[in-house]
Amino acid sequence: MRVLFLGDIMGKSGRKVVIENLPELRKSLKLDFVIANGENAAAGFGLTEAIAQDLIEAGVDCITGGNHTFDQKAINSSLDQNDKLLRPYNFPPGTPGRGFNLYQGPRGKKVLVINLMGRVFMDAMDCPFRAVDDILKKYPLGHAVQFVMVDIHGEATSEKMARGHYVDGRASLVVGTHSHIPTADAQIFDGGTAYQTDAGMCGDYNSVIGMQKEEPISRFLTKRRGDRYSPALGEGTLCGVFVETDERTGKATRVSPVRMGGRLQPIMPTL
């Protein structure tokens, strides 16, 4: 299978670069499934049903979340009703929505997407290591499902990498989100799991992690809050991770960063 994961979609610039380019990417990379982190898609804070539908119509099959999932209050009912929308699985019991879901891929293949949130420098959550065990025991890779993707939404690179190694051989792709900066460590672990510590963001990189520069710089200088953070509105860069797997085992045979548009050096896998 060929799957593309898109990093945190940041505001209008991020939505624009994804919506304009994803239909052609699905064709040129012959993609079977597309996952995107959408927790910053609504002006940098959360997701709305209307934005989710725009992304789905552009070719996104599943939208994951993170610590900003619930910033837009109206999204609660959508998380319960729309199975294409996920929030981190290790939120407390009773939280609206679902933290993983099983999707029907092409050629009868089943795709499992799991959304987790880290605990280092983040809000207190249930243990993401034990949480992922609960799911993977029910859906073994290469048997019950043909592709398993884990979105690790977290701050600490060490925590993301530890969790990637922890599920090595049990997932097709493990990729980090939240820090909005693409890392240079795309690789396939010994057990066959593709990994990248952070996919980066889809948004304007002439910014401070997607926000207009003035307010973040002012807060660092003065240690005082001024204006509200506002997403940068310049040309967006699309950032993500492409993985190809053996359809029999579900394990990765190829992984590559994807970058196009905006300010960052482009990278595009060739088939």
Confirm whether 106 is domain-assigned.
Answer: yes
Confirm whether 179 is domain-assigned.
Answer: yes
- Within the chain, strands assigned E span 2-6, 8-9, 33-37, 62-64, 100-104, 110-117, 147-153, 173-177, 187-188, 194-196, 201-202, 238-245, 252-260
pLDDT at 226 over 90: no
- The fraction of the chain above a pLDDT of 70, given in percent, is 100
| Total domains, the chain | 1
**Which pLDDT score is estimated for 130?**
92
Residues tagged active-site: 68
**Banded pLDDT at 37 (limits 50, 70, 90):** very high
Query: For residue 230, what is the domain's CATH number?
Result: 3.60.21.10
80 lies in which domain range? 2-260
- How would you label 45-61 residue by residue, b for 16+ Cβ within 10 Å and e otherwise? bbbbbebbeebbebbbb
Confirm whether 271 is domain-assigned.
Answer: no
CB 237 within 8 A of CB 209: no
**Banded pLDDT at 135 (limits 50, 70, 90):** very high
pLDDT at 229 over 90: yes
**Which pLDDT score is estimated for 204?**
98
**Which pLDDT score is estimated for 61?**
98
Confirm whether 265 is domain-assigned.
Answer: no
Confirm whether 170 is domain-assigned.
Answer: yes
Distance CA 55, CA 52 (A): 5
pLDDT at 195 over 90: yes
If you average pLDDT over every residue of the chain, what do you get? 96
Confirm whether 267 is domain-assigned.
Answer: no
**Which pLDDT score is estimated for 124?**
86
Q: What is the mean pLDDT of residues 83-106?
A: 95
Residue 49 CA: distances (Å) to CA of 38, 74, 151:
11, 8, 21
Confirm whether 213 is domain-assigned.
Answer: yes
Angle at 121 between CA 47 and CA 157, to 5 degrees: 90
Confirm whether 204 is domain-assigned.
Answer: yes
